Amino acid sequence: MTWLEMALRLVLAVVIGCAIGIEREHKNRPAGMRTHVLVCVGAALIAIIECMNIADTLEMNRLNSSSGIALSVGRLSAQVVSGIGFLGAGTILVSQKKIAGLTTAASLWCTACLGLAAGMGHYVLAVAGCLIVITTLTLMQRVVRVNTVKNLEVQFVRRNETIPFINAYFEKMGVTVIDVDFHIESKEKGKGKEKVYTNLYTLDMPKKIAYKDIVNDLSEYANIEVIRTISPN
C-alpha cells in the first residue's frame, strides 16, 4: 500500500466523520463533528494497520514458503466494532424516565464502521454508507412519521368542568383514549384547600395530529395547570 493510498483513505474517513458530525452538532447532540471525525479516522487507522499486517504476512510467506506464518484476520477490526460501544454509552442520557442520545450513539457506531470501510479501501461502500446514514438522520423522520403511544399527564382543577372539556377535545381531534389513571391531592390555596386532579391518559392518535398540538391546545384552558407527555415504561 502506497502512502498516497493511505492518505486517500484517511481523507475519506475525515470527510465521512465530518459530514455526519456536522448534522449531529447542528442538532446540539452530545457528540459533534470532532468526536465523529476522531472515531472515523481512528477506525480507518486500525483498518489500514490490519491491511498492512495482512500484506506483510503474505509477503513473508511469499519470500519464505516454508515459514507458514499465519495471521488471524479481523481481530483488530472486531475490537473497534465492540469497543466503540463504550464511547456510545457515554452519549446516552437518562433523565426522568426519558432516554436521549441513542441516535447519536448509533451514529458513532456507524461512523466507526464507515471508517473501517474507508480504511480497508472500500470507497464505494464507505461513501454509500455515509449517504445512507446522513439521509437517515436528516430526512427519514420527515418522510416516515410514526406516532408512538405515549402517556399524557394532565393536572387540573374544577373536575366537573374540565373532564367534559378534555373528552370533547379528544373526540373532536379523533384521539382515542386507551386508558386513564388518576389521583387526587389537596393543595393549600389562600385560607383553604383546593383539590388538584391528575389524569394520566394513554392515547392513540391519528397520524395528522402531533402531541405538541394537543399540549399547546389544552394548556390554554384555564383550569388545566400542568400538562406534559411521559414516555411509557
pTM over 0.85: no
Q: Which residue has the higher pLDDT, 58 or 9?
A: 9
Q: What is the pLDDT of residue 190?
A: 62
The reported pLDDT for the residue numbered 202 is: 85
- The residue out of 91, 114, 143 marking a domain boundary is 143
Share of the chain above pLDDT 90, in %: 0
Identify the sign of the CA torsion 117, 121, 122, 127. positive
Residues 139 and 160 in one domain: no
The predicted structure's pLDDT at residue 105: 79
Domain stops at, among 143, 164, 191 = 143
Identify which of 75-84, 100-109, 219-228 has the greatest average pLDDT. Answer: 219-228
Q: Please tell me the least confidently modeled range out of 33-37, 112-116, 177-181.
A: 33-37
* Residue 232 reports pLDDT greater than 60: no
The set of cell numbers assigned to 197 is 386532579
Q: Is residue 45 located within the same domain as residue 91? A: yes
Residue 120 and residue 155 in one domain: no
- Give me the half-sphere count of Cα atoms (radius 13 Å) on the Cβ side of residue 160: 0
Q: At what angle do helices 3-26 and 33-63 cross, to 10 degrees?
A: 160
Model confidence pLDDT, tens digit, residues 170-181: 888 888 888 888
In this prediction, residues 47-69 reach a mean pLDDT of: 75
Specify whether the CB–CB gap between 175 and 204 falls below 8 A: yes
Structural domains counted in the chain: 2
In the structure, what pLDDT confidence band is assigned to residue 103 with cuts at 50, 70 and 90? confident
Q: Which residue range is the domain that position 210 belongs to? A: 150-230
Per-residue pLDDT, averaged over 187-198, amounts to 76
- Span 78-103, mean pLDDT? 68
- How does DSSP classify residue 30? S
Q: Reply yes or no on whether the pLDDT at 109 is more than 70.
A: yes
Strands (E) in the chain, as ranges, are 93-95, 98-100, 150-156, 176-189, 192-204, 224-230
| 60/117 same-domain check | yes
* Over residues 204-209, mean pLDDT: 77
pLDDT at 97 over 70: no
* 95 shares its domain with 176: no
Q: What is the pLDDT confidence band of residue 182, given thresholds at 50, 70 and 90?
A: confident
The Cα 104–Cα 31 span in angstroms is 7
- 108 and 8, same structural domain? yes
* CATH number of the CATH domain containing 178: 3.30.70.260
Mean pLDDT, rounded, of the chain:
79
Q: Are residues 104 and 199 in the same domain?
A: no
Specify whether 48 is located in the same domain as 136: yes
- Asked if 64 and 177 sit in the same domain, the reply is no
Specify the pLDDT at position 13: 87
